[in-house]
Amino acid sequence: MAGAPPPDDSSLVVVLLDTSLHFWNAVVRSSSGLQQVLSFLNSLALMNHMNHLVIIASGCNSCEFLYDSLDSDERAGANHQTASEKIVQKLNDFVSRDATQPPKFQPSLLSASLSMALCYIQRALKEKIGPSKPRMLCLQASPDAPHQYIAIMNAIFSAQRSMVPIDACMVGAQHSAFLQQAADITGGTYLMPQQADSLLEYLMTIFTVDLHSRQFIQLPRSAGVDFRASCFCHKRTIDMGYICSVCLSIFCKQHKECSTCGSSFASSGTKRKTPAS
């Protein structure tokens, strides 16, 4: 019926796709790795014809929208194979433009892609574009970048206030404390697959589940979440630090004043370290 609200199981899914060398080495260049990712992205659209899929490339120097299933140009392409080919072509073009410097194992701009995703979601909700149940999925391989800590945490808390879950699939060599915190704070799911060849199975089993169905399905939870913070002065992950009582900035060493808000700190005789977590 015209004007009827979308079903409860329809979703607006914004996928943040890491395009750094970390991701290409871990997934895309592995056996059928790219095809597994494309099959998963196609499945998100096939699960429900009302689903709205958006893909954002998260590069080392820039971020860019790769695909929007509600875009008139994308909808004109009839079959899913054509859509996959367009995604691959845009992905290759983006990687070529993003690699303005000699190839280095730099982390992707996760903070920027999270901000882009949140802005898109807010606009979609305000203008009532597509489903009203948004969520994000980070396909990430880059290690945490301490200098992005503040921006990432701001994005996480914004997603929490907007009730937008952040799911994360970490395919790199080590866990991501930032994404563990993102999933825990926003009510999303964090997963680090044990076998790269079974990536599609992990993605299909866990990350195709819509928010409505999650009420009835027990999804995996992280056994332990690393809640350590990064200091604002050197951008290092710390266990203990000094916290500004005015703006809550965290520092690994004693300072005379807060570099964030300019407040004067207590004298060295009264200083006290506080757990950064």
**3-state SS, residue 37:** helix
Give 76-119 pLDDT, tens digit per residue: 554 555 678 888 889 988 988 887 665 567 889 999 999 999 99
Q: Count CB atoms within 10 A of the CB of residue 220.
A: 11
Q: 276: pLDDT confidence band, cut at 50, 70 and 90?
A: low
Q: How many CA atoms lie within 13 A of 99 on its CB side?
A: 14
* C-alpha–C-alpha distance, residues 30 and 241, integer Å: 41
Give the pLDDT confidence of 139-194 residue by residue, as tens digits: 999 998 888 888 999 999 999 999 999 999 998 888 898 999 999 999 999 999 88
Asked if residues 62 and 109 have their Cβ atoms less than 8 Å apart, the reply is yes
Instruction: Look at the block and give the residue holding tokens 């701001």.
Output: 154
Q: What is the DSSP letter of 257?
A: B
What pLDDT, on the 0 to 100 scale, is given for residue 1?
44
**Tokens in use for 141?**
């391989």
Each residue's pLDDT tens digit, 191-230: 998 887 788 999 999 999 989 888 888 888 766 777 777 7
What angle, rounded to 10 degrees, do the helices at 149-161 and 177-186 form?
Answer: 20
Per-residue pLDDT band for 248 (boundaries 50, 70, 90) equals confident
**pLDDT-based confidence at 253, cuts 50/70/90?**
confident
pLDDT of residue 135 exceeding 70, the answer is: yes
Please give the Cα distance from 236 to 252 (Å, whole number): 8
Q: What is the pLDDT of residue 49?
A: 83
> pLDDT grade, residue 63 (50/70/90)?
very high
The structural domains of the chain, ordered by start, are: 12-215 (3.40.50.410), 227-277 (no CATH)
- Read off φ and ψ for residue 61, nearest 5 degrees: -120, -15
